[in-house]
Every structure is written in C-alpha cells, then in structure tokens.
C-alpha cells in the first residue's frame, strides 16, 4: 500500500477537522472515551448527523487503536507522543488506510496515493468522483490481509460509507464478516438508511449525536462567529456546518432576513447558492413555518422571523414538492430557472391563508 500522503492542513474549517488538530472538537471527547472503553469489535459503524466531525472522530479512534504507548492513557485515548502517534500525525502510518471519495480527498487533507494522483491528473478536468469505488475497496481488503508492519493493529477508515456503490459494498461484506487477524474497520455514515442492511448488521454501531450547545457555542465563538447561536440553529445544531455557513458569508442578520425575502419572492441571499443548499434552506423555512402555524417553536430561524399565518395544508404540499426537487438536486439543471420556480412555490406556500 502506498502511504497516505502528508498534506498540510490549512485553517480550522469544517473541511479540515483532522483528529490531530490541537484545537480539536471538544464534544468528541466523551463519545470517544466511551467508544474506546466499550467497542471491541473488528468493524465499527460510526453514525449520526453530518457536520459534527465524524471523520475526525474516526481518525481519533484509529490513532488510539494504533497507539503504542506502554501504559496507554487511562481513558484509552492516543498518547500523541509514541512512534505510532508520530507516524499518524505526519500521515505516514503503514498500518492505517484512509479511504475517501476523490471529491473529499483534498478537502479533508488526506490525499490519494501516487496511483490515484496520476489518475486524477490524467483527467484533471473531470469532476472528482463522490463515490468510493470498488477498486479502492479491493485495495483496502488486500491491505487488511497483509501482516501488520508495526506488529499491532491494522486500521481501515472508510468515510462516508454511504458513498460506496453496491459493488463496492458487496466487496467489503465478506471482509467485514471475518476480518483478517489484526484488521479493524471504521466506517462512518451520515445516512445510515442508505447503507446495505448487510453492512449495518456486520458492524457494531457507535452513535455520534449532535453536540450540546454549551460545547458548540464557545467553539464557534472562538472561531470569530458573531451570534453563534443563530448560525448553530441555522445549521440544525451541527457546528461544522455552522462554521461552513459563516465562511460562505452567511451572517445572523442575513439569516433572519431570509424568511421575509423568500415570502416576498426575492432571491436575495439564495441567488448565489448551489441548488442543494437552496433546497436545504427552503426546507428549513418550510419546517419552521409549519411548526409556527400550530403554535410551536421554530428550530432553524429566529422565531420572530418566521411567517405566522401560513396555511398548514399549503406548507405540507410545499414540503412534498421540496422533497421531490431534492432527489434531483445534484443534477446539472439550469439553476436560475430552478431558483425562480422554487421561489414562486415558496411565496405561494407562505402567503397568508
Ligand atoms: Zn501513542
């Protein structure tokens, strides 16, 4: 196996939530200690909402399993100073394989091997694949079968598992059932329902919940977010998503103005956004308007920003229409037309009864 390529990490954005970052993600500490104390299986499935640092969590687990400190820390986390931890830090550990779709490799700072790089250079104009392909899974299976280079565990991190196509998933199945000697697999997913049931049933499950606000808010504040509670709510409680929104230029004020703009049919802050994000924002607004219509507390938008008098039946129909559009959101459709249609739909749904 070619060693994972060392690549410097830039910044502390959501794309670079490396487990070795000294200013890591504080909310991962407790679930990590718990997983290390209780999980003895050869195949783990880490699942939960996106935007909370799943990949970082998986890396920290892997580092702890590979750590060679004689006493190990009481909570079983990695020591950070042994030879194995050093190799891990420079991304050159011979017993670690990190399997990511091409589309995520650069963003997460875990690059392709030489072969992969040659491939991506050869078709540098092609869009990087979002899938984990069968060739990569075959490589991981053969990696797992090799003898451990340092005499300890061998760990494969596969993220996100729902990006394996059916052939790739079937290739992995047998190995997950009977992993060779020292091999351990860590799969992660933000969409557990999209996995083959046979993959799920062969893994021990570790749930990574949304972090408590008292962990997430100071973390966001330390990264310069004004009104972090507004953006954390906008992100559905996912701190990495909140940071991503802020870095894309969203402010608490702009977020609070959005419902009114949408109800008036103005493209406003949505105009420059990719279609999946537009649909995400409209779905959140639809949810909040429906909740407010029956006297509940909106979840994503400030309560006073959400229209109060929308008709529940229209909102239900709007929600269904948004779900239909979402299924095709990744297609290269003509965005301006699509956006216009979505806004007409939104304005009609939000109009008072
Ligand atoms: Zn160590």
User: pLDDT tens digits, residue range 291-324?
Assistant: 999 999 999 999 999 998 889 999 999 999 999 8
What is the structure's pLDDT at 332?
Answer: 60
- Tell how far the Cα of 250 is from the centroid of ligand 1, in angstroms: 39
Residue 310: CB atoms within 10 A of its CB come to 22
When the pLDDT of each residue in the chain is averaged and rounded to a whole number, the result is 85
Categorize the per-residue pLDDT at 334 as very low, low, confident or very high, splitting at 50, 70 and 90: low
- Tell how far the Cα of 17 is from the centroid of ligand 1, in angstroms: 20
Categorize the per-residue pLDDT at 68 as very low, low, confident or very high, splitting at 50, 70 and 90: very high
- Tell how far the Cα of 85 is from the centroid of ligand 1, in angstroms: 4
Can you tell me the mean pLDDT for 205-217?
A: 95
Lowest mean pLDDT among 52-61, 88-97, 115-124, 177-186: 115-124
What is the structure's pLDDT at 171?
Answer: 93
Q: Return the bridge partners of 98, or none.
A: 157
Q: Residue 247 and residue 245: Cα distance in Å, rounded?
A: 5
- Tell how far the Cα of 38 is from the centroid of ligand 1, in angstroms: 19
Cβ–Cβ under 8 Å, residues 301 and 234: yes
Residue 174 has pLDDT above 60, yes or no: yes
Residue 268 has pLDDT above 80, yes or no: no
What is the structure's pLDDT at 101?
Answer: 92
* Domain over 14-207 is classified CATH 3.40.640.10: no
- Tell how far the Cα of 111 is from the centroid of ligand 1, in angstroms: 23
What is the structure's pLDDT at 352?
Answer: 66
- Tell how far the Cα of 67 is from the centroid of ligand 1, in angstroms: 4
Residue 64 has pLDDT above 50, yes or no: yes
Cβ–Cβ under 8 Å, residues 284 and 236: yes
Residue 1 has pLDDT above 90, yes or no: no
- Tell how far the Cα of 86 is from the centroid of ligand 1, in angstroms: 8
Closest CA to 100 of 142, 61, 58: 58
pLDDT 10s digits, 213-224: 999 999 999 999
**Could you tell me if residue 32 is left (phi over 0), alpha (psi between -120 and 50 degrees) or otherwise beta?**
alpha
- Tell how far the Cα of 171 is from the centroid of ligand 1, in angstroms: 32
- Tell how far the Cα of 148 is from the centroid of ligand 1, in angstroms: 16
- Tell how far the Cα of 66 is from the centroid of ligand 1, in angstroms: 7
Categorize the per-residue pLDDT at 40 as very low, low, confident or very high, splitting at 50, 70 and 90: confident
Can you tell me the mean pLDDT for 341-347?
A: 88
What is the structure's pLDDT at 182?
Answer: 84
Q: Residue 300 and residue 242: Cα distance in Å, rounded?
A: 11
Side-chain half-sphere CA neighbours of 199 within 13 A: 27
- Tell how far the Cα of 79 is from the centroid of ligand 1, in angstroms: 4
What is the structure's pLDDT at 74?
Answer: 64
- Tell how far the Cα of 176 is from the centroid of ligand 1, in angstroms: 26
Q: What percent of the chain has pLDDT over 70?
A: 85
* Stretch (H or E) spanning 352: none
DSSP state of 50: S
DSSP 232-254: HHHTTT-HHHHHHHHHTT--HHH
What is the structure's pLDDT at 19?
Answer: 37
Closest CA to 256 of 291, 289, 297, 301: 301
- Tell how far the Cα of 83 is from the centroid of ligand 1, in angstroms: 7
Can you tell me the mean pLDDT for 102-108?
A: 86
- Tell how far the Cα of 41 is from the centroid of ligand 1, in angstroms: 21
- Tell how far the Cα of 20 is from the centroid of ligand 1, in angstroms: 12
Can you tell me the mean pLDDT for 262-273?
A: 82
Q: Comparing 177 with 90, which gets the higher pLDDT? A: 90
Residue 111 has pLDDT above 90, yes or no: no
Cβ–Cβ under 8 Å, residues 68 and 84: yes
- Tell how far the Cα of 39 is from the centroid of ligand 1, in angstroms: 19
pLDDT 10s digits, 139-152: 999 999 999 999 98
Can you tell me the mean pLDDT for 271-294?
A: 90
173 phi/psi in degrees, rounded to 5: -50, -55
Residue 21 has pLDDT above 70, yes or no: no
Residue 16 has pLDDT above 50, yes or no: no
- Tell how far the Cα of 218 is from the centroid of ligand 1, in angstroms: 29
Domain ranges of the chain: 14-207, 251-350
Categorize the per-residue pLDDT at 12 as very low, low, confident or very high, splitting at 50, 70 and 90: very low
Can you tell me the mean pLDDT for 7-18?
A: 36
Q: Comparing 74 with 94, which gets the higher pLDDT? A: 94
């Amino acid at each position: 196996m070619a060693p994972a390529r060392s690549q410097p990490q830039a910044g502390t954005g959501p794309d670079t939530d490396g487990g070795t970052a000294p200013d890591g993600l504080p909310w991962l500490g407790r679930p990590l200690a718990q997983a290390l104390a209780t999980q003895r299986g050869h195949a783990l499935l880490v699942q939960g909402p996106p935007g909370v640092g799943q990949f970082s969590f998986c890396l920290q687990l892997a580092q702890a399993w590979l750590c060679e400190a004689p006493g190990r820390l009481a909570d079983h986390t990695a020591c950070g100073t042994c030879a194995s931890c050093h190799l891990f830090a420079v991304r050159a550990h011979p017993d670690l394989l990190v399997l990511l779709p091409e589309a995520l490799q650069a963003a997460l700072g875990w690059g392709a091997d030489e072969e992969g790089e040659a491939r991506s250079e050869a078709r540098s104009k092609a869009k990087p694949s979002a899938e984990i392909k069968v060739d990569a899974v075959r490589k991981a299976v053969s990696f797992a079968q090799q003898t451990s280079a340092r005499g300890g565990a061998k760990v494969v991190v596969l993220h996100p598992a729902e990006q394996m196509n059916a052939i790739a998933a079937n290739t992995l199945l047998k190995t997950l059932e009977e992993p060779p000697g020292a091999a351990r697999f860590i799969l992660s997913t933000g969409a557990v329902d999209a996995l083959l049931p046979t993959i799920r049933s062969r893994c021990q499950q570790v749930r990574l919940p949304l972090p408590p606000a008292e962990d997430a808010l100071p973390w966001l504040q330390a990264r310069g977010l004004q009104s972090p509670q507004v953006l954390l709510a906008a992100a559905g409680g996912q701190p990495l998503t909140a940071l991503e929104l802020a870095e894309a230029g969203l402010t608490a004020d702009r977020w609070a103005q959005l419902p009114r703009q949408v109800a008036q049919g103005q493209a406003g802050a949505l105009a420059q956004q990719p279609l999946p994000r537009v649909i995400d924002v409209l779905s959140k607004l639809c949810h909040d308007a429906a909740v407010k219509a029956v006297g509940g507390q909106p979840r994503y938008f400030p309560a006073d920003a959400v229209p109060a008098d929308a008709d529940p039946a229209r909102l239900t129909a709007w929600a269904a229409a948004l779900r239909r559009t979402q299924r095709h959101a990744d297609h290269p459709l003509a965005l301006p037309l699509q956006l216009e249609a979505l806004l007409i739909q939104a304005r009609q749904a939000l109009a008072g009864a």
